[in-house]
Each structure stands twice: as structure tokens, then as C-alpha cells.
Amino acid sequence: MAEGVSKRWGSTQALMSATFTIGPGITGLLGANGAGKTTLLTLILGLHKPDGGSMAVLGVDPFRAGAAMRARIGYAPEHDALPPDVVAQDLVRHMAEIHGLPHRVATARASDALYEVGLGEERFRPIGTMSTGQRQRVKLAQAIVHDPALVLLDEPTNGLDPMQRDEMLGLIRHVGADLGLDVVLSSHLLDEVERVSDSVVIIDAGRAVAGGRLDDLRRMGEDELVVELDIGAVEPGDVVARLAAAGVAAMMDGPRIIVALEAPSVYDAVRDVLAESGAGLRSLRRRTRSLEDVFLASGASGYADGLVPLTS
Amino acid sequence: MRPVEARIFDEGYRRYDGTRRGEAAAVRSLWAHTVQRIMGLRRSARHKVLPFVSVVIAYLPAVAFIGILSLLPADRTRDFVPSYPQYYGFISAAILLFVVFSAPEALCPDRRYRSLSLYLASPLTRDTYLLAKAAAVGTVLTFVTTGPQLLLLVGYVLENHGPHGPQGVLLMFVRILGAGLTMAAFYTAFSLALSSLTDRRGLATGASLIVLAGSQAVTGALVFGFGLPSALLLFNLNLAPYELAVRILGGHRRLLMLPSTSTAVVALVCLIWTVVGAIAVWARYQRLQVTR
């Protein structure tokens, strides 16, 4: 939980009164490059002290708790951080020991973690001989090997091709959903946050501009109905006029009609109007918002700064 | 039907409810990992060559002298085998090799490959990280500054070459430890300080060699060329720790480069060099930007 957290690096205001709560499950930390996501992760790790505001991670102040708290956190940085001349199994075991696991347990869990990320057969290879995708998996393995209470993944799909990216997102979902670890996934890619996250915090220019469970955010648009008609049978404008005459607020949205769902009786009114007009109904559904809609509604200015929309 | 006892050996990834060791264990783990790295253990054969050669250079003469003592009559070897301080003359090359490649191997890759960010996201802090690294470099250096003399002590005692009596053996044991640890601490601080300035192992090794050779050349020219006071030789980083080690080992006056300088002054200068090196590396790592 963060309350009014600010952090400045020299003349750059990285975070500005950011207030948000990260709950269980997988939380996407969404924002454009330079929005302050990595700064936020370092504050969660207790590596820096916020200039203002307060934070609680796993129930403690991360900067004060420091080492003891970091033993319960797994972290995979955005950049390459693995020594190429070390065998994957040795590195992952070493990181487990660093996080407090006894040697024998660390050795066993290193194998398990590497199997879990799909590197069971490759675990005795030097990291330098591995592909980018495999190295990202090793980073994930070293972040989960010590059974952390919280896993922080900073842009985990950086440098991956589309297939590797899909596999990595699948692994992250597996870590969160099947292994039951709470994950914070930092990304500037809307679709990957939408695909794997249960919750989202949107960061824009150092501020947390929106946040919450994705289902809740999507449902915020459910006070509207989307009506799609068969093209050519009836003019949509005609239907909108008939709805208005029946006391139902409606508007055109391209080929669709958006109807305000003010009361359950609106369903009956729409049915009656469509039947009277002879329009062919293609679909009738409650409106749900995509993460992109949520992002745009938050007022964040990410696209200009490198945030990748769903359509890219 | 008899019940069958079954056990699952491969349970896969699972939650861990056991005890978690604290910060001290993290330091121990990093220390062990770094010592292994410096010695080329669990790495390919080419990484083992330099440490292996250094160890051979350091220990082989001791083994040879002990062999000579055991094979030849005492009256023919008495003046032939070196004293404990004299033995430094045989192993200075091994010590130099360890000094110039240990600290770069310990510090530089973590910054070059940015693994430092993984360590600082663990229970380690910048201070405990440096403590583990310094302990690892110090351990490796102690292996060559102390080990050969201890081997010599065992061999000499068994061959009745001295020191004599339990007290004499114990005293020499303490002297060897003191001299070796002092030299290891001096060179650990020095080499870590230089290695903290670059993330390239080769550059750090080269810089260490240049500074060691440069300090020797400059002080030598000033003292022997321009006739300046011989105390300036204490700025010779190749000489100062040896001068102190020889004194700790109770070496003869003729073995000293600075016989007119008191041991307290030599010790103080070595201490200052060590502290300056330690502060330099500590300050460098406090300012180092790892993650933002």
C-alpha cells in the first residue's frame, strides 16, 4: 500500500504523490516508459527512501525493514542481470541461499524452479549459451526459487519475440494462478497486462491515475447496452429516434447503438422498438470496457510516451 | 493385503515453510560463491589456470625445501633453506598474481553483468555485500600469504629445523598468521579499491599492476635517484606490506629495506593505506546507481 509517495532523482520527479493498493494475485503496473514504474519497484524493495508519503509492503515499511523484508520478495529486473559464465542451476541455487534457504533445500528448489519455467533439461548449461527467452526464464526462476510472498517482475517480456512473449506471459500466469504467488508485473504493454493480471495500477508521469481489480474496472461501463443491428435492414438512426420516443436515452457509436441502462425495463423497451421497426438484431450485450478504455478514461497521456496500445 | 509404503521423491515446486536464515547466512553464501568464482571452481577449465598456477608457485618451493631438509644431512642444508621471512621472496610472484586477479574477479562481473541489482534486492545491503566480497578476496589472499609459511612451519618442525619447543612453535604460528593476515588485509583493500573503479576485469588487473609497479618506480627514483628520505619507500605499495610482514615474523635486520624506520611507523602507514583503500571502495559503492 502506498499513500502519497513521492520520489525525485535530481531534477526528475519520478513519483508524485502516488497512492494505490496492491492486493493478492497478479497486479499489472502499467505505464509508459519513464512513468515511474521501476522507481516504484525499488521503493517496494526498500532500496530507496521515498521523499514523501508512506509505504507498507507485506505489512512493514520497506525502507526500515530492509533486509528482513527483501528475504520474502523475489525480483527480476528489466535489464539482463545474469553472469554468462555461471551454470543456471548454480545461479538459482545461489540466489535461494542468499534469500535464506539452507544449502540442500536451495539445491532441490533450484531444480524445481527451473523445471517450473521449462528449463529442466537446460539447467546445467552456462547462462551465456542460452537464448534471450531462456535467460528471461532463468530470471523468473531465481525470483521464485525461495517461495517469496511477493514477486516483482520488471518488464519481463523485454527483448522477446511474439512466441517467447506468449510463453513468458503463460509462465507468469502459472506462477500467479497455479503456484499461488502474488506477482507485480511492470509493463508498458497494455495487452500483456490485460492478459495476465487480476488487478492493475496505472502510472502516468509519476502519479497513480487509476487502479483496482480488472473485473471491477471493466464493469464500470456496464450501465450501458451495446446493440448491433444487421446492416441495411433498418437505419440505426431510425432505431435511436424510436428509442428516444419510448423514453430511452440512446446514441449512435459507428454502426452500433449505445443505450443507457437506467432500469431493467430498458431491455423490454429495446425489444419492443426493434420488433416494431423490423430491425435485424445481431447482438445485444452489456458494455464492458477494455483496459485501453480504462487507461484512456484515466486521463493518462501514455501513448505519446511509448505506451503500446492493444491494436499494435 | 500388506500395506505398501510409498514415498514421493519428486514433489515439484512447492511452498517452503522451513526456517529462513538471516543476513549473516546471505553474507556467508556470497563469500563462498565468490571464493569459488575466484578459484575457478564450478567454472570451465580456462578459469582454473591462473589460480592453479599461483597456488603452485606459492606452495611448490615450500614442498621442495621440506623435501631437501628430509633428504639431505642437516649440516648441508642449514644455510640453504630459507627462513620464514625469506620465503616471501619465493612467493611474491604468487601473491602479486592473486592480488591483481582476485579482486577484479570478485567485484567487476557483478557490475558488468548487472547482477549487483539481484544481490541488492535480496537481504544483502551495499555494506554486507562489500563485507562478503572483501572477506572472499581476503580469504584467497590469506591462502597464499599464510598457507605456504604454515606448511613450511609444519615441515621445519618435523625435520627439527626450528622453531624449537611448543612455545617457539606457537609463537611462530601466531607470527605467521599475523604477518599473512596483515598483508592480505592490505592488498584486499588496495585491489578492491582499484576494482571498484571499473567493471572490466582486464582494466582492473592492468590498473593494479600499473599502480604497484608505478609506486615502486617513483619511490625508488625519489629515494635512490634524488636522495630523498628513505621513509618515502613506505609509499611503495610493493614494499610496505612486506616490510611489516618481515618485522612481524621477527626477520633479521639485514632483511629490512627501512632498518632505520620504527615498526610502529611502518605499521601505521600500512594501516592508513588499508583504511584509505577500504573507505575508497565503500564510498564508491554508496554512490553507485544500481536501480532507479
Q: Mean pLDDT throughout A146-158?
A: 94
ipTM of predicted assembly, 2 dp: 0.87
pTM of the prediction? 0.86
pLDDT confidence tier of residue A143, bands split at 50, 70 and 90? very high
Across the interface, which of B115, B123, B290 has its CB nearest the CB of A100?
A: B123
pLDDT at A303 over 60: no
A100–B contact, CB cutoff 8 A: yes
Per the CB < 8 Å rule, is A68 touching B22? yes
B289–A contact, CB cutoff 8 A: no
Q: Mean pLDDT throughout A128-152?
A: 96
pLDDT one-digit tens code per residue, B160-206: 887 888 999 999 999 999 999 999 999 999 999 999 999 999 999 99
Select the more confidently predicted residue: A58 or A301.
Answer: A58
Low-confidence ranges of chain B (pLDDT < 50): none
Window 64-123 of B: residues touching A by CB (8 A cutoff) are 109-110, 113-115, 117-123
Q: Mean pLDDT throughout A245-273?
A: 87
Per the CB < 8 Å rule, is A45 touching B121? yes
pLDDT at A301 over 90: no
pLDDT confidence tier of residue A302, bands split at 50, 70 and 90? low
pLDDT one-digit tens code per residue, A26-38: 999 998 888 889 9
> How does the average pLDDT of chain A come out, rounded?
88
pLDDT one-digit tens code per residue, A82-100: 999 999 999 999 999 999 9
pLDDT at B9 (0 to 100) = 62
What residues in B contact A101, CB-CB < 8 Å?
16, 18, 20-21
Round to whole Å and give the CA distance between A268 and A247.
12
pLDDT at A305 over 60: no
What residues in B contact A70, CB-CB < 8 Å?
121-123
B25–A contact, CB cutoff 8 A: yes
What residues in A contact B29, CB-CB < 8 Å?
94, 97-98
Mutant choice from A43, A90, A98, A151 vs B, greatest count of B C-beta within 10 A: A98
Per the CB < 8 Å rule, is B291 touching A82? no
pLDDT at A281 (0 to 100) = 87
Going by C-alpha positions, the residue among A89, A58, A253, A76 that lies closest to residue B122 is A76
pLDDT at A312 over 50: no
Mutant choice from B13, B39, B105 vs A, greatest count of A C-beta within 10 A: B13
pLDDT at A311 (0 to 100) = 43
Window 178-197 of B: residues touching A by CB (8 A cutoff) are none
What residues in B contact A68, CB-CB < 8 Å?
22-23, 123
Per the CB < 8 Å rule, is B21 touching A101? yes
pLDDT at A306 over 60: no
Q: Mean pLDDT throughout A173-183?
A: 93
Q: Which amino acid type is present at position B240?
A: A
